[in-house]
Structure 1
Amino acid sequence: MASEIFERDRHVTFLQMMYQLLPSPYQSQEINRLTLAYFVISGLDLLAAPDRLVDKEAVAKWVLSLQAHPRSQSELNNGQFYGFYGSRSAQFPSEDNDNGALLSRSVGNLASTYCAVAILKIIGYDLSSIDSESILTSMRNLQQSDGSFMPIHTGAETDLRFIYCAVAICHMLGNWSGMDKEKAKAYIINCQSYDGGFGLTPGSESHGGATYCSVTSLRLMGFIEEDILSKDAESSIINVPLLLDWCLQKQAADGGFQGRPNKPSDTCYAFWIGSVLKVLGGHKFIDKKALHGFLLTCQSEYGGFSKFPGDFPDLYHSYYGFTAFSLLEEPGLKPLCVELGMSAIAAIGI
């Protein structure tokens, strides 16, 4: 039987365990260790857990050790990205299986760099102390002619996820030299579909995560206003009424949010779509009681949240369960900065 309350203490214990030692099922995600660390550390921060649970000095040292650095200033424009590696193993050069030779040096990943900068911001590290020049100068190499971004310097997909990462990085570092905002804006606008939502690429199906990346990116870049519904939505660069209608239609009969039509409700979309509604000023239209009830059916007795009711909890859905409850103003949780996906206090830098 699902608990009728948000089990904060169990969630803190769940994250504390993950901070100390990740269970063996996470071995396959070792390459994304920085992302997993972001879920843990930001989760503990949102839950207002005691500072003693996280060794901030050790965390900062570990995160900073994962940044890629050019060997010389001239390398900043060699097409590679000098951000952060996703994990320690990602720092090792790749090997050519045909002759055993080491290939070119491995380089940073845009999504991992977002998580690294976010972690440093959450623990209160002075971001002016990091090598932001290498990050921002080389990040421009990842932006494509259509305004989209690749996560690494070659051979990867381009879509809205990586525009969001680039935007969030620039915003957190307080420096927009790492991207062309106008090109990014044009790409985002082209991703709005006929139904009001946004697809990951122009012409693709509307999706809750892609819609979050679009709206929060435009907000962080200053192209749309907060609470746009209370202002002149008709003058917006996106179709706000259609977007609002699409978002509200994603709340299903069970109270949860689905990422696409005809899909089951999923814990994480309470954050992805709930955040979009928060930015637009439409959060008041959510059936909060129903959403609260759905999320509790995904709350694990071990702490954490699962994707669907009855499944085992995982870090990804646990974190977005916490952010969803923060949006619902659950007592004991810090207020959320939806644009950056962290506590509002961390986002401000207090």
Structure 2
Amino acid sequence: MSLAAGPGRGGGGGAQGQLPDEMKVVVEKHVAYIQSLDTRREELEYHLTEHLRISGIYWGLTALHLLGHPDALPRDGVLDFLFSCLHADGGFGAAPGHDPHMLYTVSSVQILAMVDGFDELEKRMKDGKLKVAKYIAGLQQPNGTFAGDEWGETDTRFLYCALNALSLLGFLPSQQADQPPLIDVPAATAYVKACQNFDGGFGTEPGAESHSGQVFTCCGALSITGELDSYLGEEGKDRLGAWLSERQLPSGGLNGRPEKLVDVCYSWWVMSSMAMIGRLHWIDKAKLTAFILQCQDPEEGGFADRPGDMVDVFHTVFGLAGLSLLGHPGLVEVDPA
């Protein structure tokens, strides 16, 4: 996920003023909730989620950008923590002392992009951007996909992460036309295409069940490489759009695959893909907006997976991103790819 380059819809007040209270995003409450997350070090949950620390910073920072408060976290503190997770090979771990992994490396690159921190990376590590790019490229497999780390687990998530991070770093072959390519893009896109199923969706690997999260990663990968439109065509977009639109249940919320419960996070995974293929209007936007806002805690801030559950930063960012895709007033526009 990244923020759209163009002008946003503003972050905060004015546009929301005419909405009824139950349809308003409580911007200041969400900002305060995200700011409070790193102060809860006496709580057991803080330490049990150490393996998600870099991801948590990315989710929180992205939510703050969507809310129009990009500077609500201290930049220097964010960078200091980030670089404490950087390894000599260019990969980032989830927290200090954790092994490097693709997921935390792409989150770190996205954070650096949001805080304009690439110059700081170069100061902290000689040829830092190139080393990070080479770490990512080194995880590509002979069949075109990417592993998450040195132990070799593969997943279309990691393939998308690689393309996302390399595009932000400026090291995709299309961005480095005068240099030998770091990765084999045709092999990567061929692998993505092999993951598509008869129902129009995509799975984690060829033959795996279609899942909304994997649809996002595969559509995002093809979008970044400029092949989404040419590969799917209008008929393919209709088939995929039909499968995605069927993820909406009577409550207005979306699920990840048939017969599963609704979850706020699929407001992003499903709708980002529908936005990329131009089928966002196939969703009942009013019902989905109402469902997402029912998951908001209007007193303490944050969003839960479903109405009445505990809030967390993961569902907060994807609830806000879903509302952004729906064009909800007061949120900055998000780039679905």
TM-score (norm 2): 0.84
Aligned residue for 1:77?
A: none
* Cα shift readout 1:294-324 (whole Å, capped 9, x = no counterpart): 1122112421111122110011111101111
Q: How does 1:97-116 map to 2 (within 5 A)?
A: 107-116=99-108
Match of residue 209, structure 1, among 193, 213, 228: 213
Match of residue 197, structure 1, among 194, 198, 201: 201
* Cα shift readout 1:38-91 (whole Å, capped 9, x = no counterpart): 11111111111262x222133223212321114xxxxxxxxxxx311110131x
Aligned residue for 1:283?
A: 280
Q: Identity of counterpart residues, as a percentage?
A: 31
User: How many angstroms apart in 2 are the aligned matches of 1:297 and 1:164?
Assistant: 31
User: How many angstroms apart in 1 are the aligned matches of 2:119 and 2:289?
Assistant: 36
Aligned residue for 2:322?
A: 324
User: How many angstroms apart in 1 are the aligned matches of 2:146 and 2:70?
Assistant: 37
Aligned residue for 2:92?
A: 84
1:129 shift after superposition = 4.7
Does the CA-based 8 Å contact 1:148-1:163 persist in structure 2? yes
User: How many angstroms apart in 2 are the aligned matches of 1:178 and 1:258?
Assistant: 37
Does the CA-based 8 Å contact 2:253-2:267 persist in structure 1? yes
Match of residue 270, structure 2, among 264, 269, 273: 273
Could you list the structure 1 runs, at least 4 aligned residues long, displaced by more than 4 angstroms after superposition: none
Structure 1 residues 89 and 249, CA, compared in 2 at 3 Å: closer, same or farther? same
Aligned residue for 1:39?
A: 59
Aligned residue for 2:154?
A: 158
Match of residue 137, structure 1, among 134, 138, 153: 134
Aligned residue for 1:64?
A: 83
Question: Structure 2 stretches of 5 or more lacking a match?
Answer: 1-20, 123-127, 173-180
1:122 aligns with 2:122: no
User: How many angstroms apart in 1 are the aligned matches of 2:70 and 2:134?
Assistant: 37
Does the CA-based 8 Å contact 1:31-1:89 persist in structure 2? no
RMSD (Å) for aligned C-alpha atoms: 2.1
Structure 1 residues 213 and 300, CA, compared in 2 at 3 Å: closer, same or farther? same
Higher RCO, 1 vs 2 (CA within 8 Å, ≥6 residues apart): 2
Structure 1 residues 143 and 258, CA, compared in 2 at 3 Å: closer, same or farther? same
SS at the partner of 2:138?
helix
Aligned residue for 2:27?
A: 8
1:19 shift after superposition = 4.3
2:234 partner amino acid? A
User: How many angstroms apart in 2 are the aligned matches of 1:287 and 1:335?
Assistant: 19
Does the CA-based 8 Å contact 1:19-1:37 persist in structure 2? no
